[in-house]
Amino acid sequence: MTADPVALARDLLRCPSVTPAEGGALAYIERVLQGAGFEVHRVTFEEAGTDPVENLYARIGTAAPHLMFAGHTDVVPPGDESRWSHPPFASEIDKGVLYGRGAVDMKGSIACKIAATLDHLAANDGRPNGSISFLITGDEEGIAVNGTVKLLQWAAARGEKFDHAILGEPTNPEKLGDMIKIGRRGSQNGVLIVTGTQGHVAYPELADNPVRGLVTLIGAINAEPLDNGTAHFGPSNLEFTSIDIGNKTVNLIPAEARARFNIRFNETRTREELRAEVERRTAKAAGNAVRWNIEWEPSNADVFITMPGPFVEMMSRAVTEVTGIVPKLSTTGGTSDARFIKDYCPVIEFGLLSQQMHKVDEHVATADLVALTAIYRHILERYFSSPA
């Protein structure tokens, strides 16, 4: 008998695991994996000023190679439940479509990984020819400080070594098979602050309006592209997201003007180098006329790429065999927990369809759950017969 990913997904979707609540989701996974012979650990992390969050680490096998399935069971809130055609935690199926918060992001793909693993074990006398682990956090959709980062540190302290990881975020824009993510851009936030001298708007000669300086500096910073991109990444990009002066008084020249921005950068750049370049452009445009400084926010979102090679090809072939589609290898989109996993082993991301994530009526075709399980199953078969 083969494992049923739809039944597993339905059980998981019934768990109201809105970050930071566990909602029964990890307890459910613990039961299923323990039943399959995994050694399961439930670990709670907390730190000052944050909610404690539960996480799970489970492993079967002791030998190499060691393949990690990574993911998160927490979900974003459903919002106004009356706008859902099927209640967000009722896990209803309607015309071959399963509805529920987390259907694609990402309880659905966790269910597929579990089903594929159960099938793989059943076909191989209950043991992998190596090791399989599940690294599942309850803190991905929130501030992500008590989740994957700490769980990886915890695992490393126990002596766990990983060879490859597959993260099940929803990666496909249109159809299952469209896209494998092999990297993500880095991210850096900053605030540009221009200081002037406050005064009456009718007497500008007695004031120094920081708005003029801010506009000049924004123009200069954005005047040239940061770079041209690479084979696997688009150009690095700096985008201003907000201009904040907060002045409600019509006859007042403000004393200060701020602009927030975000940089998404590719693998040719480092955070330090980009900061220096933005400061150089700013200084050149400001000369002695504009008083400015930039506050750089701390960030843990570094760029990474898992270069195409045997592991990526194995994933790619599995996708094609099941779906008939040759997936695009992409580095687009926001950050994910892959940015933490990459410090421990090569990581790629492949899951369900991305269109539905975080939406009202989030849903997944049950056929996609079956197909994704088949893809993961192919990977397991290949990986443990000829490791990447």
Q: Which is nearer to Zn ion, 101 or 269 (CB)?
A: 101
CB 74, min distance to Zn ion, A: 9
Q: Which residues bind Zn ion (CB under 5 A)?
A: 105-106, 169
Q: Which is nearer to Zn ion, 169 or 302 (CB)?
A: 169
Distance CA(303)–CA(18), nearest Å, equals 28
CB 170, min distance to Zn ion, A: 7
CB 63, min distance to Zn ion, A: 31
Per-residue b or e along 72-87, where b marks 16 or more CB atoms closer than 10 Å to that residue's CB: bbbbbebeeeeebebe
Any catalytic annotation for residue 81? no
Q: Which is nearer to Zn ion, 216 or 336 (CB)?
A: 336
Q: Which is nearer to Zn ion, 302 or 362 (CB)?
A: 362
DSSP 8-state class, residue 23: T
Any catalytic annotation for residue 267? no
Q: Which is nearer to Zn ion, 139 or 169 (CB)?
A: 169
* Residue among 11, 30, 54, 140 flagged as catalytic: 140
CB 106, min distance to Zn ion, A: 5
Distance CA(152)–CA(133), nearest Å, equals 12
* Residue among 22, 30, 74, 141 flagged as catalytic: 74
Distance CA(341)–CA(184), nearest Å, equals 12
CB 120, min distance to Zn ion, A: 24
Rg for the chain (alpha carbons), in Å? 24
Nearest by Cα to 116 from 386, 383, 388: 383
Give the three-class secondary structure for 221.
Answer: helix
Q: CB within 8 A of 133, min separation 6: which ones?
A: 57, 58, 59, 60, 66, 67, 68, 69, 160, 162
Q: Which residue is nearest to Zn ion (CB)?
A: 105
Q: How many CA atoms lie within 13 A of 67 on its CB side?
A: 24
Torsion of CA 169, 118, 6, 354, to 10 degrees: 10
Q: Which residues are catalytic?
A: 74, 140
